[in-house]
Chain A
Amino acid sequence: MAAQNPSTPPSSELPTVPFTQEGTELAKDTPAAPSRETTPPPLPPRPKIYGLLGDRPPTSGGLRVPSSAKRPGLQSKATTALSLGELHAQTNRDGSPASCQTRARGRSRSGSEVDDSASIRSFAPTMQADGDIESLLGEVLGDSEIQTWKIMGPQFPGGQSQGASIFGNGPEFEEAFEHEFDELTELETDGSNEELVVKQWKAKLKHFLVLSSAGKPIYSRHGDDRLISNYIGIIQTIISFYQGANDSLKGFTAGNVRFAILSKGPLNLVAISKLDESDQQLRVQLESLYMQILSTLTLPSLERMFKARASTDLRRPLQGTEILLSALADGFTRGSPSTLLSALECLKLRKSHRQVINNTLLKTRSPNLLYGLIVASGKLVSVVRPKKHSLHPGDLHLIFNMLFEAGSVKAGGGENWIPLCLPGFNNTGYLYMYVSFLNVNNTSEQVRERPSTSSGEDEVAILLISANKDGFFELKKMRDELVEQLDKNGSLAFMTAAIKRGRPSCTDIIPGTTLRHFLYKSRGNVQFTMPSFDPYFSTPIARRRLLTLYTHLHTHLHTRPTHLKIHHTTSGNCLTLAWTTPLFDLYAVAPGTTSRAALAQAANRVVQWVRREEERVFIIGGAVF
């Protein structure tokens, strides 16, 4: 039915999941691929070679860093035309045959929905994990487990048990976090205040550095060149020492600080964290920064620059994108469930309402459209996509970061036309993205006119992506039609209401529960849902602590050799649960006074709730053409 986009290669495969699982692992550095410039396939198929995890960080004490060895190595590899077999290989961390089981179970369900959701559901049932519930109480881990874990990651000084360090981090942490995002004092030209500035710099809980393999600084979250050049020199020396021995360095600990290093061709990316994150988690963050750089430059042009001159200063070509890198970095420092889980959050919407929006997108779709997205304050409302292309969560994260965190696009107040490379989709070329923000609080008349810059929460963004660089007016026309239709059929009002409603609270979901917060990731849909941060985690520091807690749980769940299904932690003031099945990952937090049984029961209730609301909290399939 749809006109083929010229850039889409023929493919007989029909993956029906809207998003591809993000590779949360980093493959061992693959030898530099031959330049793709001579024969750039518009959309190369996903490589079949899976990168296996490489060297372990020295401090891992022989414990193997994360699982999912069967995943394709890099996000920078194309994820298009994903076959089902591969998808399942990816979503099963241990490569167990659970995928078959999943599929078989799924088929028995009656999928009867109008659009793509039928086929989706058959492959990605969120639920069906009843069998695991029994073991929920049976696999509680003791303190010995925590001890085991301790040697894998950095600790805050004092070495209290994990639970205590989460909510019990002293005033120093609070103080440091409060000033985490402050600018450093300007270094005087005579260096007279250097001591002060260095002190501020060292007090930061988190640093991100990007340098070229020749040792040139490319990006630093904190501190200008003069301040950091010494440190860049040191880190470069350390990295190249190991590279010289063909044993590239992945990470190390110094005091209470963890260093994680990601080497990507001509770039070295370094994360320096005091936030108790695992190497795996830090490297996912570095991977995201790397994707942002690719998104600006594309891989071939990055490689070309460094091939021509190893001492290339990449800051110039990246000029103006520091804000995007910093917005990503600060998101990680504040704590990002989306990055932790490598999944997306959707706006909770009635299924029939989303259906109307999907149909409107399909109806107004213009011929050169590749992807169309409606996004409300970082949550996906709807997506229209070609059947053979799913969207990569890492790519969407970059887009959301650009639009909702960095703010420069929105501040401009107009419509935007942005060339960008979506490295998860195809890291060799650019796509063009039309962006328009609607202020849905305005009357329909004004919605059609230019949106005004205003508070971000109630804004809806229409993103239309095309491979045609001259497609602006075509997509603008589509946008105008789309908004008019959405307004006419009431969808804008539904969206506004959903945005206003926000996330439900835990007690909305389970009346009377003591549960404070949870994260539920549907592994098949590569999406997650969570309740409101209010009232317990309204402040940034409370949120950071919650995310630290989740970070620990995530580490427990996804770090070998423990390979857990269920994990409980108890401390004086909180009780946590992490639970993974082939279908979902669930992380839940309750106050320490809660009984374990009550938490387990709450977890089951959450799972039931998601099952009931599945097609509201997740986008199943989306609009496909």
Chain B
Amino acid sequence: MRWKKALFYAAAAVFAVWTVMPIVLIAMAALTPRQELYSWPRQFIPENFSLESFRFFANSHGVLAATFRSIAVALATVLIALLVGAPAGYALARFRFRGKEAFRIGILMTRMFPTSLLAIPLAVIYLKTNIYDTIGGLALMHAALAMPFVVLVTSSLFLKVPYDLEEAAMTLGCSRIGAFVRVSLPLALPSLVAAGIYTFVLSWNEVFASAVLTVHNRTLPAHIISTLNVSPLNFKFAGGFFMIIPALIFIFLVRRYLLSMWGVAINK
């Protein structure tokens, strides 16, 4: 039993290092002054830390605008995904209807095709409908990418709120919608917020669709990727680290709900 436990912790340690190492390397590189970054041989832990690279990155042309666009796209994505996905999830949780299982599978099948396969047809459609290279258009795409996650997760959230509660509210004078707003929504809200934040991060990190569907109005990842070939090393490191931070913070904030969202109980 003991060696089993040791093996488990060893595996966990390897996995943790595997995940954390690139983040640490990027963080250290991003905080290293420029001269030191280019010197050879380079020390594993830099002698001096400085925010020089960051300042350089943040002041570079287009970065600030791209950051704001990224935030705008992510917020719009969350809004669209929750407004469309949460009711669908609620319906899956509460109602029996013809084709329910097919619907559930169908939602997953939307992710069957890789984005790269869809890129050209999508770009054509976007161009034709005049939403190419717009924040709203990209948010629509991100919302579509996040939809399976939002629908399936919200349906499992609402399943955890017993229908009895809504029925009780209805016998006490609520309408169907009133019962939802006063009872189910408050109970599901923390998890809904977590799902929203997760969706935000999905959009924040998304590169491919952003790069294909925008030209001038690029989000931060798309902007960084398009300038990657022509930018100096410290710009790349600072940019990479800058991208990681919000995702890390958000996921850290909602980590408790992430587990409950996916229906995993680790503390039991």
A and B found bound together? no
Which residues of B are at the interface with A, using a C-beta cutoff of 8 A? Answer: none
